[in-house]
Amino acid sequence: MIGGTQESASLARSLVQANLPCVVSVTTDSARSLYPSSLLLTVWVGQLTQATITAFLRQYEIQVILDASHPFAVEISQFAIAAATTTGISYLRFERASIEPAPLPTTDSQTDDQDAPRPIVFNHLSELLKTPLLTGQHVLLTLGYRYLPLFQPWQTQATLYARILPSPVALEAAIASGFTPDRLIALRPPISAQLECALWQQWNISVVVTKASGVAGGEDVKRQVAAELGVQLVIIDRPPIQYPEQVSDISTAIAFCQQHLLN
């Protein structure tokens, strides 16, 4: 299983309960704590690449690839799909469900709801950075540390804050991108609405930039808090990718694994 996400931890617990052996790949040591301790479960820490993934599959005698990577981790999914095709290993994408946009307010809606800015969705981050939307704003970035270098030119045009995972790599990348320690917070999801609200108010946030990460990624909480506080939420949509097979239900994913492990 390609893991590192909250839902991959739930999948791992279900696999153990179903008595199915599993090797979970994660990229950081801190992600180990997400997974249960079991003789059936091996957590491998490292970076799978196009050059190494096939050897990894052979070394661990993998029969099924359960891809539960982050929706924006397109590269590793593409590597896994290609490796599955080459080796004949069964592949299943487990993807967190998207959040449907809220309906437009009606004339009977409360005034507060009508006044709240509606989320703005961009297909790519580059589209947002071509607009003046962030200029002069107090902006909270919840995109992950890999995207922070793209905002370095904006350090003089807006007041930027970032939420990152609690890892040395993330912290180093944020500081290298021009973020000072007082404009960083390191937290691992899930994050409650109360904590989001307090953080946004503490920093006087006017714009939040996030990913279309679904409920597991806290997108629903951000939508709720943005509406309550009147903050402009900017959502970067998921990159399109064609998966051979895809589900968003854990029981269906477990049944798929059982079927292909027994065959």
Give residue limits of the domains in the chain.
6-97+241-262, 111-236
Quickly name the fold that domain 6-97+241-262 has: Rossmann fold (3.40.50)
Q: Of 241, 254, 238, nearest to 79 (Cα)?
A: 241
Given this chain, do its domains 6-97+241-262 and 111-236 carry the same CATH topology?
Answer: yes
% pLDDT > 90, the chain: 76
Q: Say if CB 248 and CB 68 are below 8 A apart.
A: no
Architecture, CATH, for domain 111-236: 3-Layer(aba) Sandwich (3.40)
Say which residue, 73 or 128, is predicted with more confidence. Answer: 128
Please report the pLDDT score of residue 114 as a whole number. Answer: 56
Per-residue pLDDT, 4: 76
> Which pTM does this prediction carry?
0.77
Q: Residue 43 above 60 pLDDT?
A: yes
Query: What are the tens digits of pLDDT across the range 191-242?
Result: 999 999 999 999 999 999 999 988 878 899 999 999 999 999 999 998 888 9
pLDDT of residue 19: 96
